[in-house]
A and B are shown apart, each in its own frame.
Chain A
């Protein structure tokens, strides 16, 4: 059973007085429980348009999105459908996604599906903070007392409060430095296995996706141009765009600056 099935989705944005933008052009993608699927592409390739449809923020222009075997109902300006609460999202900027005015203990409980008593809430906040590797005694503190990496852990804890079966992470470590991002990657991989949830991991960084995703799909100009097991895709890329992406990733190697200068000359 797949937890998420996206079938032949098209997303077209209409602009007044200008031609339409076909942001997503027939993408099919599925995620199984306990599986991490990576979606890689550069700015403007349509990955965020696809993510908004996958999480139910927008309706696709055509095609279907099935979550846990049933069609996902796109949210309007009302609360999300109860059936969609098992689908949670982690965003890029943990500075923007947490309220600066409420304690973190109260914010992680925002994700709960139904109200709980004070004592139950306290216990749940402790469980969630421990799950993401934060000190449960910190629950009375405010977001500004936490680093970027810690804040992203908080955002993940809040998403986990709904006991999701699928998490969509859109560039979750892009705003973090290498150390914090490595820790978040390890945390997410561990959680997927531990909780047997599916994850759609969206990033512009193919080397990062390789480190976390079981399957990788490469998106270019609204279409998936190549997909496969992450390691195989990395080692035996077929499509020219995938090859370009891989070769553009800066690597540590000897004499690179001198070599470049020699080529240029």
Chain B
């Protein structure tokens, strides 16, 4: 497999009152073509800052060191205008809250096509036809009707599907999905995860999937990286990381899952029963 993204010794520092704080200390990771790679960790572990560094959308005044190589180019050395040619066309982003990612006053159709017309330099009619195809691909029923709809007419799951269609519009080689299913109901989440799986297999797009839910990680990722305090503490095939974790921190994360807690509770009640 060929790597599409290679991050080496990435460090990100943000300014604060006393100087700088390292929010990413030592991140090294690889995403291969057509692969879904998961980043897991708690709030504040540096997952989102790592993905922001890839897209060059870090907060103002942030300092970076190390390299982020995407398709052979070091993204950290690019100017903002050079990066904007990659953002949204070669790499696309999907956020947690689809209602915030979509413009409330523009139709879904406008939001998908404006993007394509800008990056792919195609006409309105061609863009509309492509938009219909994309909405079919993300399994939105009646795509032509959906193009004329506004985001508020969609459910949460439909909005996320529309946001994914927009992200796919310019045939990116990589998607960065930051907690894309966290705001959704479990049954809806299941459908979106299946969609990612299918898209990845059908189009060969690579996905960097950020999640704090290890169950989601297990369902979706080929390989996984566990972040803590801005550094990777464990990485490997998802099954190795989750079923045979070697780092204490990964083990603690697994033990704090609701399912582990429920099992722990049943265990405690059985023991209590034995003492009676």
Contacts and interface: CB of A to CB of B under 8 A. Distances in A.
**Do A and B make up one complex?**
yes
Interface of A: 42-43, 147-148, 176-182, 185-186, 204-208, 210-212, 230-231, 234, 244-245, 248-257, 260-261, 264-265
A207 B214 CA distance: 13
Contact of A249 (B186, B220, B252): B186
A42 B253 CA distance: 26
Contacts of B259: 207, 210-211, 249, 251
Given A231-B262, A249-B259, A250-B213, 19 more contacts: A177-B43, A178-B257, A179-B42, A179-B252, A179-B256, A182-B258, A204-B185, A205-B186, A207-B257, A211-B259, A211-B262, A245-B187, A250-B189, A252-B215, A252-B243, A253-B243, A256-B220, A257-B221, A261-B197
Interface in B173-223: 185-190, 193-194, 197-198, 201, 212-216, 218-222
B187 A248 contact: yes
A157 to B, nearest CB: 21
A207 B257 CA distance: 9
B256 A178 contact: yes
B213 to A, nearest CB: 6
Nearest to B212: A177
Given A251-B215, A253-B218, A178 B186 contact: no
Contacts, number: 113
Contacts of B242: 252
Given A177-B212, A257-B238, A43 B193 contact: no
Interface of B: 36, 42-44, 156, 185-190, 193-194, 197-198, 201, 212-216, 218-222, 238-239, 242-243, 252-254, 256-259, 261-262, 265-266
Contacts of B243: 252-254
B186 A248 contact: yes
18 contacts: A43-B156, A179-B252, A179-B256, A207-B259, A230-B262, A231-B266, A234-B262, A245-B186, A248-B190, A250-B189, A250-B216, A250-B219, A251-B215, A252-B214, A252-B218, A252-B254, A257-B36, A260-B219
Contacts of A148: 43
B213 A182 contact: no
Contact of A42 (B44, B187, B213): B187
A178 B243 CA distance: 18
Nearest to A206: B186
Given A211-B262, A251-B218, A253-B218, A178 B213 contact: yes
Contacts of B253: 178-179
A147 B42 CA distance: 12
Nearest to B36: A257
B219 A256 contact: yes
B218 A207 contact: no
B243 to A, nearest CB: 6
A148 B198 CA distance: 35
B261 A182 contact: yes
Contacts of B238: 257
A180 B261 CA distance: 13
A206 B258 CA distance: 9
Of all A-B residue pairs in the complex, the 6 with the closest CB atoms, nearest first, are A250-B215, A182-B256, A211-B261, A42-B185, A211-B262, A207-B258
A130 B221 CA distance: 41
A178 B214 contact: yes
